[in-house]
Structure 1
Amino acid sequence: MDKLKKVLSGQDGNNDDGDILQAANQASTLGWGTRMKGFIACFVLGVLCSILGTCLLWIPRVGLILFAVLYTLGNVASLCSTMFLMGPLNQLKRMCAKERALATAIMLCFSLSLQWKNNGLALLFCILQFLAFAW
C-alpha cells in the first residue's frame, strides 16, 4: 500500500523535486483515507455522467447538447478524482510531460467534434478520449 501511495503521489523516485512535492504533500490537510474517498466519489460520478451523456447522444435535436454537458462534467469529475490522489500541481506536470502530451492533446481536442455537430464523430472522439484518459 505504501508503494501505491508513493507512485500516485508522485514520489516514485523519478522526480528531482521530491523534497518540494513531499513537503507539499505533508502540508496537505487531507489524509490518505479522505483522498481515497474523494477519488472514488469523483471517479464514480464522472463515469456515471459520461455514460449517461453517451446514452443521451442519440436523442433528436437536444441529444448532442445533453451529451456535451454531461460528458464534459464527467471528464472534469474524472480528472478531479486523480487530483485527489496526486495533487493538482503534480497532475498538471504529468499531463504536460512529453510521454503524455499526445493524450492531453486528445483530451483537449474533443470539443472540435461537438462544433461539427456530428454524432458519429462525437462518439469516436469519446472513445479516443477514454483511451487517452486511461493511458
Structure 2
Amino acid sequence: MAIANESHQEAKNMASHHGAGRYWAIWAVLLVLTVVTVLTGRMHLPNFGLLLAIVIATVKGTLVALYFMHLSEHQGANRIVFGVSILFVVLMLVIPMADLGTRFRGSNPPGSQYSDLQPPDIGTGSQRGRFGGGMKPPQTKDTPETPAPHH
C-alpha cells in the first residue's frame, strides 16, 4: 500500500531494505561533525566561527533528513519541499548576517564584535543607570562612616 503522493516505483523502492552499513556510515559522519563542532566552539574564531557552526549544523540536519528520514528515496514533491526548506534556511541566515556585516559603524552597539566603540563604564561614578543618580555605593568595613558633627 502506497502513500497518496508516491508512485508505484517509490513504493517498491521503500519496500526494499537497505543494509545497516549506510546508517552506520552516516552515524559516524554525524559523530565526526559533532566533534568538529565542539572543538571549533572552544576556539576563538571571531570572523567565521558562527558561520562554520551553522554550516556544520545544516549539513548534519540534511544528512539526518536524507538518510534517517529516507528523503533520498523520495521523488517529486518531497524533494521540492526539502530543497525549498533548505533554501529558506540559508536565506534566513545569510540576510541578517549580511545586514550586520555591512552596517554603518555607528549603528552597531558599543562593545559588540562589530563595533570598535567601547561600552560605557556603568556603576563607577556619580551618575549610574539610565537616568543618572542611582544608589549610594556601599560602605566598606575598613572605612566606617563618620557621624556629622553636632552644632
TM range (shorter): 0.3 to 0.5
Q: TM-score, normalised by structure 1?
A: 0.46
Say which structure is richer in helix: 1
The one of the two structures with greater contact order (alpha-carbon pairs below 8 A, sep at least 6) is 1
Q: Please say which structure displays the higher CA radius of gyration.
A: 2
